[in-house]
Chain A
Amino acid sequence: MNQSKGISKRIGSIQFAYMSPEEKRDLSATKIITPDTYDDDGFPIEMGLMDAHLGVIEPGLRCKTCGGRVDECSGHFGHIELAMPVIHIGYVKEIKKLLRSTCSECGRILLEEEKTTEYLDRMEEMREMGGSPLDIRNLAKEISKDARKKGRCPHCNTDQPKIKLDKPTTFREENTKLTPKEVRARLERIPDNDLWALGINPDVTRPEYMVLKVLLVPPVTVRPSITLESGDRSEDDLTHKLVDILRINQRLRENRDVGSPQLIVEDLWDLLQYHATTYFDNQTSGIPPARHRSGRTLKTLIQRLKGKEGRFRQNLSGKRVNFSARTVISPDPWLSINEVGVPERASRELTVPLKVTPMNLDYAKELIKRGPSPSTEDGEYLPGVNYMIRPDGRRIKVTETNAEAVAEKAEPGFTLERELKDGDIVLFNRQPSLHRMSMMAHEVKVVPGKTFRLNLAVCPPYNADFDGDEMNLHVLQSEEARAEAKVLMRVQEHILSPRFGGPIIGAIQDHISGLFFLTYDNPTFTREEVVSIFSNLETDRFPEPVEEDGNKIWKGKDIFSYFLPDDLNMEFKASICQKCETCDKEECQNDAYVKIEDGQLEHGTIDENAVSAFAGEVVDKIARDYGTDAGRKFIDQITTIALAVITLRGFTTTIEDEEIPDKAENQIESVLTDAENKVRNLIEAYKDGELEELPGRGQKETLEVKVMKELGKARDDAGKIASKHLGLSNNAVVMARTGARASMLNLTQMAGALGQQAIRGERPSRGYEERTLSHFKRKELGAESRGFVRSSYKDGLNPVEYFFHSMGGREGLVDTAVRTARSGYMQRRLINALEDLMVADDGTVRNTADKVIQFDYGEDGIDPMRSKRGDAVNMDDVIREFKKRGE
């Protein structure tokens, strides 16, 4: 095992080539002649398709070629000698090209000598310049096209007959059929020198090999037969196909040898061609696919490789792994963002290899003695050992009963499979894995229950919620992997997103509401309250109290400041900012201007713009300037106290939060009625053809635009009236304004009116003949009949409104479904196109061919993750720091 020694061998390169019949025979372990597989006793028949020379699939048997057992022998190829040659379906186009651009008599390319050399020089130059295989293929295409133009061979002066391809595999020359044998003979005549020009490398192959004389039979390990419960054997699709080929091949040989009529031989030959074709590709157009007895189409060679379920994408680019677990996730605010809660069941199953050395021998023995499921006297989880692995690879299972005995046998050089314990590094992942933050390294914390637990602040990078989401966990198995994961993949290393150079991990929802209540208008807290808040943290220190009326009290802003670095200086606007025309800055009436001086929150409210994922300025600055450790600590602490504060205060939202005074409701009513009247007038004008057309639009379009605008305005006005009565004393409003959850639009839709429902950006217009619902008049264009909802969610929708609202809802669902598929494919293409790009040591971006894509990454060589929202340097910061220095 070279696992511990690192990678000692690397495959340097893989050469592709197409085999000659001789090479195939050389490679073959045995010739296959009988179409039968097993004899009556269940033993493989010699020179049959399951010949023991081809490898072993049954445990206990040994390979007749190499003597290896099931896992040791990867199988050997066999071969079939075809009675008559057949065309390889994958190369039909290539053969056509060759036949058409070479002389039917002398085999030379249909180009003058000089022209050929000129082309060859061009091809050579292309190779030197690092041209891709695609370019070379295209040039070869061009050459053969050029050659095809000639009706006469420049070398021997023969007139060239037209060659047609009858799909899929029949060639015709002036209406006489060319047998594969004749085709092969022609291809044989093409000299090596001309092959380069035709896109074939004579060093690795010859065109005549594309007409098969020998068929390679894949090893049985590639097409294992399975034994059903009933004892019957079921053969692989490939074996079935090979049986077909062998049967026909035999009949063809017999008929040919006894001199049967030409017609019969030809029929059999065609049949052999059919089977050979479907053996390679069972989806060849123009011929019916070969089927299994049950009617299912066979999966032959190309089907095995192709597509999403094919070998390449399913088994080679991604693999199933051991040491992984999957279960439902649930939230746990008591964990650090760096941690993940792993349920006991999973912890007992997942293991970390532990090398026994002279230094840890005693510890290892102690560990084994505990057995596979130890716990403390209080019933708390302790890691045990599941297996002990000896240097020869034998695994000894540790059980309750043999634990003592196994422990005694432990020696340096053995490996133990130790169960998970707190602090182990694991990878945690949620699909779809759209960016690198979808898989991060966490530290294990074994917890009761059956779910994985994670801190709420890491929901945004995983895009996780707890409505039944499941996540995967992978346990790292080598020291290198653990070190790498810890340095590069730890959650705290990903607080800043490389997508936009801002935080993607930060406070969400109640965290933000909690911090709002802690800091808005700087409330005071009593000693008991502060103790209650700080009891959630692992700290024995308190912020300094202030004296007021002889009592020691604590100010909210001071409590928050306690978690800020001492030299932090910042200024920005909070999310609750009303965007007044002139900003009063420190004097802000809404306490929305945040100013932090030397780690002290002097003014302003902490909300979305300060601490949230995506927008949090403070989180951003701390993670960037004070290091990821400080960032992690800050997020852990402020989210914890935020929850403590919100728990202390209590927080809920009810339908009463959408309650507005009757007066306001009447106002909204009249606004909506006004709007509906205006729409009516517009429709009148439209019917009279008096609408003033917007540039480039007809009457009808103008009407639609104007109606939409009018009704949109009505909804906004209704919303404005409603918002006037929704202040910050209202919890729902707090959530919307601080950016914790929802938006003012949602609230106004609940309190005011829902507004116009749109389908594809237009008012609904289809359904019944010239109306949307059967009870409307035909050609009716009014607000109500075209999806305007004047009710609010609180009042409830009438049936018609509900119907239109559902239309809008359905559109949203369809949209989401289509979008995921489309954007998934776009991302796959983007990844595939860009995956090989890497920053070289000199700062250039290069691809695998060492070609420069960018001379300086991003034109300035700045890492987007380390940038401040794209800027290399935040000048305000620099100036502030400079001025500080001067003081």
Chain B
Amino acid sequence: MTMAKKDTINALKRRGVDEESAKKLVKEGDFLLGDVKDASKEELMEYLSEEKAEEVLNQVGKKGKKKSKSKKKKSEEKSEEEESKSKEKIEIDKFEALSETGKELKSLSEKEGYYLPRALIRDIAESVKEHDISEDDYEEVLEMVNERVQNRKVDPKESVGIVGAQSIGEPGTQMTMRTFHHAGVAEIGVTQGLPRMIEIVDARKEPSTPSMEVHLKDEFKDDREEAKDLASRLEITRLKDIADFEINIAETSITIEPDMETLEEENLDIDEIAKDLNKKRNVEGEVTQSDEVINIDVEEGKFSLLYQTVEEAKEAKIKGIKGITRGVIRKDEGEFVIYTEGSNLKDVLKMDKVDIEKTTTNSPVEIYNVLGIEAARKSIIQEAKDTLNEQGLEVDIRHIMLVADIMTNEGELNAIGRHGVSGRKTSVLARAAFEITSQHLLRAAILGEEDQLDGVAENVIVGQPITQGTGAVDVKYTGYPEKEVQKDEE
């Protein structure tokens, strides 16, 4: 019996339904708690006597209060629906379209009842074309492919989790520890090898070397000047980068002399800078500006305030995007791409001329926050794959996908480790055996947790066969079928 069913029974019991009827409903009728709530008396009577059914309905069935709640929910849903309607619909081609041959192959394979993945159909289409195979023979080729696919399916009860974990962990010993490797773009150092891999499975809030790959919209992607412009708009420029500071202690004032040449180059205006400075909260004092100099007069005698103001003014953002310290332009496959040091996906996507479909960052967490869980999954797969490939290690993509899937399964990003996936295990013993043993046991005792002994670690601990592979099935020898024995005797 699955955990979920046991939980349902417990839930029914807690609501005052006697154990027997609860078990009957859940085991035989496959009822979930919600089903019972919504069920009519007749439905329940299939499994229970009339009075019992009535009793159950009284205890579990819909109450006035709940109804009002669900109504409320419905109205909420409605408004959401309207909202989504009003939003502009963005249509994205989910899949790369199939070629004509591909389409033909697809319909043919569907007709034959083969389930072949799209990527495979595309493969077949390609090679069929390359080798000039006539359309009449498609069926035979498909049959041959399907036979192979069926032969290579994974076995039921296979412990794919452990195989996957080993397949990613084992090459870990062969990876380098060198943090910086100038791969791809020589100017931007990106964490590589084992540290990077650990970072990915940890789902760190911020990677040690955040970096973005900013693409330009199609109409600008061939233009170096546009790319340069965008890069300079990305890079954060602080006042200290372009100006000299002078502190006059006697008058408790600060003189800021921006480099006029740079100002012009970067298309900046001294008035604007002064205005911005005035707005800053920690810049205390009167900001005045002439043609080439900005002055800040701080209240007399307040030296600590003076220094605080200097620091604040130095750090004042003149332009650019928070978090991005550098942008390097590179020509990749015929288009100009900007690689950045530092990352801020949300703000970069808002900029014009940026191709929001191709632009990406190397932080799965950031992608999760901006684009959602499916994008995060994709990002984990991509980053892990790139890290392994960079090291020249061959690991099947399916193993990486499994890791990404378990990290994203709950709808949010969970790290591999005690604060993430491992900490959310249902089994007390498995959690206790991993890390922070005592707390898990103590807490289990007051929550009254029940270990169902479904997993691997728990069963190893209590000393019984695990529930995967050959441990998941029983073999029973029943002797010869009786009929045959009788025949023999006759």
Contact = CB atoms under 8 A, between A and B. Distances in A.
A138 B145 CA distance: 51
B173 interface: yes
Contact of A827 (B169, B397, B422, B432): B169
Contacts of A94: 446
B173 A823 contact: yes
Interface in A462-517: 484, 488, 498-502
B299 to A, nearest CB: 39
A869 B178 CA distance: 28
Interface stretch (B38-46, B347-355, B437-445): B437-445
Contacts of A840: 156-157
Contacts of A90: 438-439, 442
A829 B416 contact: yes
A833 B155 contact: no
B370 interface: no
Nearest to A280: B438
Interface in B165-196: 165-173, 175-178, 180-182, 186-187, 194-195
B212 interface: no
Contacts of A833: 165, 403, 406, 416-417, 420-422
A6 to B, nearest CB: 8
Interface string B302-314: 0000000000000
Interface string B105-135: 0000000000001011001101110010100
B402 A866 contact: no
Contact of B167 (A7, A207, A435, A829): A435
Interface string A119-141: 00000100110101111110000
B419 to A, nearest CB: 10
Contacts of B434: 832
A434 B169 contact: yes
A685 interface: no
Interface residues of A, number: 114
Contact of A16 (B117, B123, B329, B449): B449
Contacts of A863: 152-155, 158
A761 B409 CA distance: 39
A822 B201 CA distance: 13
Given A435-B166, A830-B165, A859-B117, A819 B175 contact: yes
B461 A317 contact: yes
Given A128-B8, A879-B131, A310 B437 contact: yes
Contacts of A839: 154-158, 160
B152 A876 contact: no
A870 B445 contact: no
B450 A696 contact: no
Interface string B1-37: 0111001101100100000000000000000111000
A498 B395 CA distance: 9
- Judged by DSSP, the binding face of B is helix
Given A827-B169, A831-B169, A313 B156 contact: no
Contacts of A854: 401-402, 405
Contact of A499 (B4, B154, B396): B396
B154 A861 contact: yes
A845 B120 CA distance: 21
A538 B19 CA distance: 70
Contacts of A864: 163, 167, 396, 398-399
A826 interface: yes
A306 interface: yes
A860 B122 CA distance: 14
A689 to B, nearest CB: 18
Nearest to B130: A879
A305 interface: yes
B443 A133 contact: yes
A823 B33 CA distance: 45
Contacts, number: 378
A705 interface: yes
A835 B165 contact: yes
Interface string B439-480: 101111111111111111100111011011110101000000
Contacts of B124: 875
Interface stretch (B83-91, B240-248, B254-262, B423-431): B423-431
Contacts of B141: 878-879, 882
Contact of A848 (B123, B186, B452): B452
Nearest to B444: A16
Given A312-B437, A872-B149, A488 B470 contact: yes
A870 B396 contact: yes
B151 interface: yes
Interface stretch (A197-205, A403-411, A546-554, A674-682): A197-205
A642 to B, nearest CB: 25
Contact of B457 (A6, A16, A835, A838): A835
Nearest to A818: B177
B74 to A, nearest CB: 17
Contacts of A878: 127, 141, 144-145, 148
B398 A838 contact: no
Given A317-B433, A853-B409, A863-B158, A14 B451 contact: yes
7 contacts: A307-B437, A761-B182, A827-B168, A838-B161, A848-B454, A860-B117, A879-B133
Given A90-B438, A210-B446, A869-B394, 13 more contacts: A11-B464, A137-B447, A199-B447, A204-B448, A499-B396, A830-B169, A830-B403, A837-B160, A839-B160, A848-B467, A864-B399, A866-B153, A872-B117
The 10 nearest A-B residue pairs measured at CB: A827-B169, A837-B161, A858-B398, A823-B172, A201-B448, A204-B448, A834-B161, A864-B396, A866-B152, A848-B454
